[in-house]
Structure 1
């Protein structure tokens, strides 16, 4: 069974169509010219990414690896996913940092990190990536996520 899916540009003008045969999608422009073929349905369904675990870690705090968490996860999440302003993000990250453990975190470092991730549009690392790249941080995050509330 073949299905014809009509495509539209964001302004709702016709952008062509797709013929999906159950296995592959053949994509055509608005004039019927073949453009390309892909496995599966096109356009793909957007994946919903669950970021709840990041909020839980930010709320609970970490005993160690806090700066790495801010650099690779917290800053990216607060600025590029939640859309917080720089001041709001700094406040939230400082609260997270001082929740558990001592040490000092400089506002100038936080501002630099936040501006960098915002300018580059960086997304937070996934738990899978943290597990692959930073086993220590993954272990600490797992303790927080597995803690019964």
Structure 2
């Protein structure tokens, strides 16, 4: 296996950070490399690519932070595409979601640290937003607004893309909550990050869904598939809902503290992905519960709908109570206090 492509180091660095961009797939196709080339253990870099692909997949469901490796960008780029093939070959919906979330989280971390001009390039290439940098606001504004509102997007494209990505109900992204001037929506850096918060993961998951499951793989790759399959968490029987009994108790126990976190972290994932309720059923249960908690918010309806949609899109599952004690002790304490009164 020989490296036949010449490309700038900058281009490869970008490909490492955002391997799901269309240009990266073209880069891989133009290389002429095949699965057989990568699976040839005698070929240069073959073992490194396979090892890195397996590592990326393991990181995704072992809940280890996904870090980009810039030492060998070629290996990092090709290992992503090999990992996609392996994930598809395993045939686990759980693994597909876990891998997509892991890769998306890594890309989001990189996006947070990008130069504003490159942030525009990324979202324009991926979503066609036609975003532009703003040198000076076209109206009289204070210094804080001048520094904060760095980007603008044509309002019609903004609405179209947010509609396509189901983000119109996400708090903070509606037109009424942003500055609109002469046909443009003006946004801060934080708002731009809000727009792509889950979209990188969705791009990875959509790519996996479009792939056909490989019928046969070279022995070296089949070995990776078998090792990954053996280490996947075993699915629990549907009747085993004991680990979520605390949520059923919580629904009977109004709580004053931690309601926002219960809304996005616990109730939608439980009702949608554990109990398999419809969006409408989940919405009714959540809104009634929040009313009993005395929760009143102007954007409440949109907030509930967004979190239900988000839970369904990315397959979120609620944390077990003991896991919650480790990761969110404040919320754990509030829940335990609430359910202990029932």
Task: Tell me whether the two structures share a fold, i.e. TM-score over 0.5.
Answer: yes
Q: How big is the shift at 1:60?
A: 1.4
1:81 aligns with one of 270, 274, 280: 274
Please give the alpha-carbon distance, in whole angstroms, between the structure 2 residues aligned to 1:43 and 1:84. Answer: 26
Return the structure number with greater strand share. 1
Please give the alpha-carbon distance, in whole angstroms, between the structure 2 residues aligned to 1:120 and 1:84. Answer: 16
TM-score (norm 1): 0.64
TM-score (norm 2): 0.30
Q: How many residues align?
A: 114
2:325 aligns with one of 110, 131, 147: 131
Q: Which runs of 5+ in 2 are unaligned?
A: 1-222
Please give the alpha-carbon distance, in whole angstroms, between the structure 1 residues aligned to 2:256 and 2:305. Answer: 22
Q: How big is the shift at 1:72?
A: 0.6
Return the structure number with greater helix share. 2
Computed over aligned residues only, the root mean square deviation of the Cα atoms, in angstroms, reads: 2.8
Contact persistence 2:251–2:289 (CA under 8 A): yes
Q: How big is the shift at 1:49?
A: 4.3
Contact persistence 2:253–2:339 (CA under 8 A): no
In structure 2, relative to structure 1, the CA distance for the partners of 1:79 and 1:43 (3 Å cut) is closer
Q: How big is the shift at 1:116?
A: 0.9
Runs ≥4 residues deviating over 3 A: 41-49
Contact persistence 1:131–1:138 (CA under 8 A): yes
* Equivalent residue number for residue 287 of structure 2: 94
1:63 aligns with one of 225, 233, 256: 256
